[in-house]
C-alpha cells in the first residue's frame, strides 16, 4: 500500500469518526430532537456521489470511508425518525428495545 493510500485512509477515518459520537449519543439517550433531518440526508447524497466517484477511480479510501459514512448517516436518519415518531405518539423512547 502506497503512502498516498495510507494518508487517504487516515483522513477518511478521522472525518468519518466525527459522526460516531452523535449516533452513539442518540442511541443511548433515545433523543434526536436536536439533530436536523436535512443535514444527514444531504450528506448522504454528497457521500453517495463521492462513492460513485471513488468507484470510477478505483480509490479504496474514497470508496470505503464514504460507504461507512453513508451507513452512519443512515443510522442517524433512522434514529431521528424513530425517536421523533415516538415523541409525537407520547411514548418514552427509553422504554422500547
Question: Where along the chain do its domains lie?
Answer: 3-90
- pLDDT tens profile 27-81: 999 988 888 899 999 999 999 999 999 999 999 999 999 999 999 999 999 999 9
Looking at 3.40.50.880, 1.20.1280.290, 3.30.43.10, 2.170.150.70, the CATH number of the domain 3-90 comes to: 1.20.1280.290
Cell readout for 75 is: 443510522
pTM above 0.85, yes or no: no
Amino acid at each position: 500500500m502506497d503512502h498516498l493510500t495510507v494518508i487517504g485512509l487516515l483522513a477518511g477515518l478521522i472525518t468519518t469518526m466525527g459522526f460516531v459520537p452523535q449516533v452513539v449519543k442518540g442511541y443511548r439517550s433515545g433523543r434526536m430532537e436536536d439533530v436536523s433531518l436535512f443535514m444527514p440526508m444531504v450528506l448522504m447524497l454528497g457521500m453517495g456521489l463521492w462513492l460513485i466517484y471513488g468507484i470510477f477511480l478505483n480509490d479504496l479510501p474514497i470508496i470505503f470511508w464514504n460507504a461507512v459514512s453513508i451507513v452512519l448517516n443512515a443510522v442517524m436518519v433512522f434514529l431521528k425518525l424513530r425517536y421523533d415518531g415516538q415523541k409525537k405518539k407520547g411514548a418514552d423512547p427509553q422504554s422500547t428495545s
